[in-house]
A = this chain, B = another copy of it.
């Protein structure tokens, strides 16, 4: 059981797929929560639980803590530093907690610009899909000052059950990135190896079963292999939305002079899949790029579909 919360005014911006259930958790657990939204279809549910909905981010300016759950760098930059930006309205000492997944370089920029205004920032991306947000069992990876992490910890542990302090500014995003990059490489590996096996005449269902019972298995293979066999490319996060992780890694590797050649090759597969029109599908769909090249389909063998 979590310790009781101190009476703190908390704001939340971005009530989307993740933000809405996260905000609901906060308010259900007794937070004095103030929300604002562009789309606003999350208001009724949140109000019903006791949240206060306001018209504009500006009205959150006197909150002590503000959570963000926004799609990406451009929106966050606009919300914080745009013409109507929140940053210039916040009092020194306010804490902004960004639970969005954003590029490492951009997060460092946010830390620096807010710090110049005396505002504390924590990068705190989450993992776990919507269902774990609803259950309050997200993994939350935090980067920034320890002091800031400690201050917001009571609220973080209402949203996640694995709340980690990873180190200085950017460390939260970086930790999440490390996990994502491995996942992305695993998906790109499947994309080239599975169609090859098909081209060489193997039976897809048997190959899938050998992999998932063998040393070649991964979360990626367990999640995607059954779906690829059934040609279902809609259950995972879409390629185009997750692409920002690869942008983040490419910039980080380049700027910090860290060679990551396997990732670089996987990134090219990812990009080719986007360019070939698979962006709205999930990462399993990278296999389709190679299937088209090799003129095969990695699906349950019907005795007739071998290219």
Chain A 164-206 near chain B by CB (<8 Å), digits 1 or 0: 1011101100111011111101101110111011011111001
Among listed A12-20, A22-30, A84-92, A214-222, interface-contacting one: A214-222
CB distance B215 to A166 under 8 Å?
A: no
CB distance A215 to B266 under 8 Å?
A: no
CB distance B216 to A183 under 8 Å?
A: yes
Residues of B close to A178: CB separation below 8 A = 193-194, 196-197, 202, 207, 210-211, 216
CB distance B201 to A168 under 8 Å?
A: yes
Specify how many copies of this chain sit in the oligomer.
4
The number of residues on chain A lying at the interface, defined by a beta carbon within 8 Å of a beta carbon of chain B, is 80
Which of A202, A252, A294, A295 has most chain B Cβ within 10 Å?
A: A202
CB distance A139 to B255 under 8 Å?
A: no
Interface residue A304 (Cβ < 8 Å from any Cβ of B):
no
Nearest B residue to A194, CB-CB: B178
Interface residue A127 (Cβ < 8 Å from any Cβ of B):
yes
Interface residue A293 (Cβ < 8 Å from any Cβ of B):
yes
Measured in the bound complex, the distance between the Cα atoms of B68 and A190 in whole Å is 31
Residues of B close to A256: CB separation below 8 A = 199-200
Measured in the bound complex, the distance between the Cα atoms of B261 and A281 in whole Å is 22
Chain A 118-137 near chain B by CB (<8 Å), digits 1 or 0: 00000000010000000000
Interface residue A287 (Cβ < 8 Å from any Cβ of B):
no
CB distance A179 to B275 under 8 Å?
A: no
Q: How far is the CB of A30 from chain B (nearest CB, A)?
A: 28
Choose one: B197, B206, B269; the contact of A261 (CB below 8 Å): B269
Which of A171, A213, A293 has most chain B Cβ within 10 Å?
A: A293
Apart from A250-B254, A261-B261, A265-B265: 13 A-B pairs, beta carbons within 8 A? A141-B210, A179-B210, A179-B215, A181-B193, A183-B216, A186-B186, A192-B260, A199-B256, A218-B219, A258-B294, A259-B293, A264-B264, A275-B294
Which 10 A-B residue pairs are closest in the complex by CB-CB distance?
A182-B216, A218-B218, A264-B264, A250-B254, A179-B216, A259-B268, A265-B265, A259-B271, A261-B268, A179-B214
